[in-house]
Structure 1
Amino acid sequence: MQSTICAAKSSFDPEAAVMYIPEAFRIDDVHALQALVSAYPLGTLITSGTGGLQASPLPFLLKPDVGPHGTLLAHMALANPQLDALRAGGESLVLFYGPQSYVSPSWYPAKRRHGKVVPTWNYAVVQVRGRVRLIEDAGRLREHVVALAAEHEARRNPPWSPDDAPPDFLAQLLQAIAGIEIAIDTIEGKFKLTQNRNPEDREAVVAALASDDDPHRNPTLAAWMRKFGT
């Protein structure tokens, strides 16, 4: 079976904002956005078609140098009804969430001075829109599975490879999936990392997230705040 190409309809203005992002939280560095996608590759693929809104969590592989903003690769079961929407050619939306955490108002020095503080949530998220290309050719599907495995097995010694599985077993599995390629048309990032508060409050949040004694400890988010939260 040959690859099926389903081009997304150009019903949206690529220059228009597609996610609400206050200026303090906007990240325009495409490399930083791509880095989040690579570090947190489980994305939620969202489509709207005759079946209504549909969403599937899928592990994606980002090819950052393929296309103007990169290309995403994934696969889903042929039994997934969302494939109907993809074949119909509607536009696709993928959400990737990076580190996140509850932020207690007790962390702010301002609480001790005047008490005018409330809880919030810090997070980093990337939103992608693009054209969908379905891959149902067995040879190309195998290339996709090999690339995905190589990406996530790279740190293992020895790494697992699809060649380790019996050929007939792998062929049977490939017959039950469809590959997905999304050429990224727009990519946006919202990194809400306390940039809207004063430096004293920001440092207090970083210290609390990095502390071994706090029940909401999240050193990864603390590191992201140090890098992006100014």
Structure 2
Amino acid sequence: MYTPPAFREDDPVLLRQIMREARLATLVTATSEGLIATPLPLFLDESEGEHGVLYGHLARANPQWKTPPTGEALVLFSGADAYITPSWYAAKAEHGKVVPTWNYEAVHAYGAVEFFDDPARLRAAVTRLTALYEQPRAEPWAVDDAPEAFVAAQLRGIVGVRLPIARIEGKRKLSQNRSEADRQGVAAGLAQSTRPSDQRVAAMIPTRRE
């Protein structure tokens, strides 16, 4: 990922937060037949390894798990993002030398991917992933709520994904390269938007240089 120094993010706490909040990731593998990508929810087990381990599952019919990767796999996580109009820049009134851009957060995680179909491991991964997203609900659904035979049949239709993160790249492009006046204009403009994602990015803009 191209990451100018101003936008580089190395804080592991922030990187893990972006990964958790992204909810849906994209698993990319390079193979002798070309690139293969699958959008899928993943959870991060921070107790394993230096950077943690990602877990999820694919449909058994998905050819990605059957096609050997030629190197590391890549998982893409997209965080908050927003279009930035040059009309918000103070510099527009000063000299007009401004152009549109996009602010965003992104994390790229790399590692050797493992696919598995052991029923016990699959059930454990599915149970943890389900609990992660059901927990906030008033009446959370659990895997054990479904009939055992039905669950067993569903598990036969998927393949587990395990990716120990070997290296990780983070980028937070939040107008850090603009003047304080321009950044204040961007924050104010985004805050007035009716789009929740714009308002979220507005709160992230650093309005004073550190």
Task: Please give the range of the TM-score, normalised by the shorter of the 2 chains.
Answer: over 0.9
Segments of 5+ residues of structure 1 without an aligned counterpart are 1-18
Size of the aligned set, in residue pairs, is 210
Q: What is the CA distance between 1:38 and its match in structure 2?
A: 0.5
User: Does 1:193 find its partner at 2:174?
Assistant: yes
Q: What is the CA distance between 1:88 and its match in structure 2?
A: 4.9
Deviation string, structure 1 residues 128-181 (Cα, Å, up to 9, x no partner): 001212221011101111100111111112211011112111111100100111
Q: What is the CA distance between 1:94 and its match in structure 2?
A: 0.7
SS at match of 1:33: helix
Partner of 1:156: 137
Equivalent position amino acid for 1:132 in 2: V
Equivalent position amino acid for 2:199 in 1: P
> Contact 2:116 / 2:159 at 8 angstroms: preserved in 1?
yes
Q: What is the CA distance between 1:89 and its match in structure 2?
A: 6.3
Task: Give, in whole Å, the separation in 2 of the partners of 1:138 and 1:120.
Answer: 47
Per the alignment, do residues 222 and 41 of structure 1 end up closer, same or farther by CA in structure 2, a change over 3 Å counting? Answer: same
User: Does 1:222 find its partner at 2:202?
Assistant: yes
Task: Give, in whole Å, the separation in 2 of the partners of 1:229 and 1:36.
Answer: 23
Q: What is the CA distance between 1:65 and its match in structure 2?
A: 2.4
Q: What is the CA distance between 1:41 and its match in structure 2?
A: 2.4
Per the alignment, do residues 127 and 197 of structure 1 end up closer, same or farther by CA in structure 2, a change over 3 Å counting? Answer: same
Deviation string, structure 1 residues 33-68 (Cα, Å, up to 9, x no partner): 011001112111111112211111010101122110
Per the alignment, do residues 73 and 193 of structure 1 end up closer, same or farther by CA in structure 2, a change over 3 Å counting? Answer: same
Partner of 2:38: 56
Partner of 1:43: 25
Partner of 2:188: 207
Per the alignment, do residues 111 and 49 of structure 1 end up closer, same or farther by CA in structure 2, a change over 3 Å counting? Answer: same
TM-score, normalising length from structure 2?
0.93
Q: What is the CA distance between 1:216 and its match in structure 2?
A: 9.1
Task: Give, in whole Å, the separation in 2 of the partners of 1:154 and 1:227.
Answer: 35
Per the alignment, do residues 88 and 96 of structure 1 end up closer, same or farther by CA in structure 2, a change over 3 Å counting? Answer: closer
Equivalent position amino acid for 2:20 in 1: S
User: Does 1:69 find its partner at 2:51?
Assistant: yes
Q: Percent identity?
A: 45
Alignment of 1:13-24 (within 5 A): 19-24=1-6
User: Does 1:90 find its partner at 2:71?
Assistant: yes
> Contact 1:108 / 1:201 at 8 angstroms: preserved in 2?
yes
Equivalent position amino acid for 2:40 in 1: L
The CA RMSD over aligned residues, in Å, is 2.0
Task: Give, in whole Å, the separation in 1 of the partners of 2:108 and 2:65.
Answer: 20
Partner of 1:181: 162
User: Does 1:146 find its partner at 2:127?
Assistant: yes
> Contact 1:101 / 1:216 at 8 angstroms: preserved in 2?
no
Deviation string, structure 1 residues 81-122 (Cα, Å, up to 9, x no partner): 11123x456310011000111100011111112111100011
